[in-house]
Structure 1
Amino acid sequence: MSYQSDIYEAIKASAPLTALIGDRFFWDVADSSTTTPYIVAQTVSNDGETDFDGFRDVSFPLIQFSAWAKTKQDAIEIMSKFRTGLEGRNLPGASDVSLSFAGEQSTRDPVTKLYGEIIDYRASTNTN
């Protein structure tokens, strides 16, 4: 399993988050017909650590999560609950992924007219 799968499973197992977004959690892109609110995740960059033997066994990807909603307040609320559910804990799975807060920003998409709360996390994970 990959760290993406482990994160996906942790989000799907979070009752407070699924109460807000149901099954509307996506990697990379959501379909344009997706109803709000929803969250999109993507890997922005990936850094690894190489041991002296040349084996790269730890990865430190930067993962961005974007909560999208019709109102700014809804986007903020969803992201706040998302952070509470994931931040600072090891997630289940073979990748042994943990997340550390790395940055936050707000946005509004002029085409869809949706508000977004975007959070970056630096992950630490086994390479698999």
Structure 2
Amino acid sequence: MKVIDDEEKYRTTKIKVARWIFSIALIVTIYMVYWICFDENPFLKSGSPDRINLVEITEYGNGFLFGPKNIKIYFKGNEGTILEEKKVRISNIMEPNNKSLYDITWEDKNQVEITMNYEDETKVLNYNFKTREMDMNIK
């Protein structure tokens, strides 16, 4: 009778330990997927000359070796409301993403030009806050 109780106690303890290990592994896996794919970090901001419109660039996701591979560009109106957003793939192979790769130029209070100088190509994004028109050129 004692041997059977010890075997059953051992089996239930083993199951409890396996459940805890599985739960911890699941939580760590979910967090890693979030960190690699969805985590956003503020990167660069620029306001219009009249301080009404705002362009905010955030890094989207984290790469294992060479940093994030995507950015999101938010075009915000007064009171911080998001008018548009654009996801852009970073075209760097070895060079890490840094602020010196970006040039934000305000043509007037409603038009902005964002130049992204990557290793392989240069992307130029123009946005008009008044008409909400956006166009991307790749050089």
Global fold match (TM > 0.5): no
Query: Highest relative contact order (Cα 8 Å, sep 6+), 1 or 2?
Result: 1
**What's the TM-score once normalised by structure 2's chain length?**
0.26
Structure with greater proportional helix content: 2
**What's the TM-score once normalised by structure 1's chain length?**
0.28
